[in-house]
Structure 1
């Protein structure tokens, strides 16, 4: 029996779907927004933009921006007892108050 593929977007049906009214919509403000280093952000994946998406395991996690790399940011997230560094596009980040 062949094994099914297990790509990065597998088991992400609920995370990678938008509400019908929000489908295809994309905010230009979100795409051009600059985030300050050291601020807390929440990783919320925008399924419209595939580039810069983290793994859906980190959807909803809160992390701290450590540096900027190109158009993306390096975000430190605690995963269990470890601190992991993720390269995330700015379209998938929201500031936490």
Structure 2
């Protein structure tokens, strides 16, 4: 019996796909800054694997509640409760 791996990016190939001419990353996405209390949209950047939130949060809106190193703590409502995500700025939009 061969067991399949159900890793972090399992079944997210379509969601985390880039077109040929969109490959790579723009430096302004890495350098963008957010303030505590600011509302942000989670837009996963497939070219950067570090600090990537789970694909289920793609397209969600949250609030920046803190900073941890280069990352931001983003509070997102998921179902009936709030979850705190640790996300790098490449995966966020103002």
Q: How many residues align?
A: 94
CA distance in 1, matches of 2:53, 2:81: 17
Q: What TM-score do the two structures reach when normalised by structure 2?
A: 0.96
Q: What TM-score do the two structures reach when normalised by structure 1?
A: 0.93
Unaligned runs of 5+ in 1: none
- Answering whether residue 77 of structure 2 is matched by residue 78 of structure 1, we say yes
Question: How far 1:3 moved relative to its partner?
Answer: 1.9
Residue by residue over 1:29-54, the C-alpha shift from the partner in whole angstroms, topping out at 9 and shown as x without a partner, is 11011111101101010000000001
CA distance in 1, matches of 2:27, 2:20: 20
- Flag as ranges the 4+ runs of structure 1 deviating above 3 A: none
Name 1:14's counterpart in structure 2. 14
